[in-house]
Amino acid sequence: MAATSTTETWDEAWTLTMRAKRKRLTDNISDSYPTIDRFRKSGVMETENGGKQIQEDLMYALDTSQWFDGDDTLNTDATDGVTAAFYNWRYLATPIQINMTEEKESRKQAGAVKLLESKTKRAMTTHFDTSNSALHTAQSGKACIGLPDIASVSSGATIAGINSTTETWWDNERNNATSDTSFKTAAGDSYEGLLRMRGLWNQVSEGNDKPDIIITNFTVGGNYEDIFEGKGFLRISPKDKADLDGSDPAYRGVPVTFDRDCGSGLMYMLQSKYLKFKVQAGLNFAKTPFREPANQLAKVAFIVLGAQLTTNNRRRQGVIYNLA
């Protein structure tokens, strides 16, 4: 019988120890990355079976309805109004490397388990750090789509093969605060920043469809907090004050998430109903088998994620930019 290789031994150790801990480890690490954590809590994270592309069905116009009586002639003309957006999967790999020295120093089972857990935690933390940053970066190269693409500060973006210059219904909402003095500058009985927030809220809302995710950076978020913490003069209703009594400040009952990865002067208002971070089934932080690279005294495996940020309604996503 062939002897068990050391790479197989490490795979077995990972299966026995880390598989049971992976979900708890994933949840604990994701808590440290605000946008991913908010997406997870808002139902934006969604697993999807393979396929070369992700298809999102889009409805950009309604059919024609008619009131009628008796044997009135009804309109049967076909109308356009349904199409589809196609998103490509993107893949992220982070190595778990165990070199010969580490292997020799952790021969006992307890030491090997501790080393493997530490290495896996580091790799998954790197994975989340890279993913969270990508969500706040306009897509480049082989990275996933980011919020600066979905909710762009400029018109004319092409997302999922659809150009919003010609297909204006595919453009997101935006509100430019460049003419404002500062977020906390008085504007009647309110502030310029709050008026911008109210403006974008109304732009992305339609009927009962309203934002349920608000993301900004710590500078803008701190200005928002200042207004409700005694540094401003705004008269505060009991409900508004209650919004800020929890661990996170809120606007109209929606938590305001502060993320250091969010770009300068930006605030996103998003609707999770039309926004998904798709994760490919079988590649949700999956581990490849350990291998021995040529010319290297080490064992290497990879944590792999297949994912993409998608939307089927850009009109319900918006951004305020140039917030001073």
Q: Using one digit for the tens of pLDDT, what is the confidence trace for 275-287?
A: 999 999 999 888 8
Q: Residue 130 pLDDT > 90, yes or no?
A: yes
Convert the pLDDT of each residue in 245-270 to its tens digit. Answer: 456 789 999 999 999 999 999 999 99
- Check residues 238 and 276 and name the one with the higher pLDDT: 276
Q: Is residue 233 over pLDDT 70?
A: no
What ranges do the domains of the chain cover? 6-59+84-321
Is the predicted pLDDT of residue 18 greater than 80, yes or no?
Answer: no
Percent of the chain with pLDDT over 90: 55
The per-residue pLDDT for range 155-206, each reduced to its tens digit, is: 998 999 999 999 999 999 999 999 989 999 988 888 999 999 999 999 999 9
Weakest mean pLDDT among 63-67, 175-179, 207-211, 220-224: 63-67
Question: What is the fold of 6-59+84-321?
Answer: phage-related protein like fold (3.90.1690)
Which pLDDT score, from 0 to 100, does residue 306 have? 96
Model confidence over 307-320: pLDDT tens digits? 999 999 999 999 99
The CA distance from 246 to 203, in Å, is 27
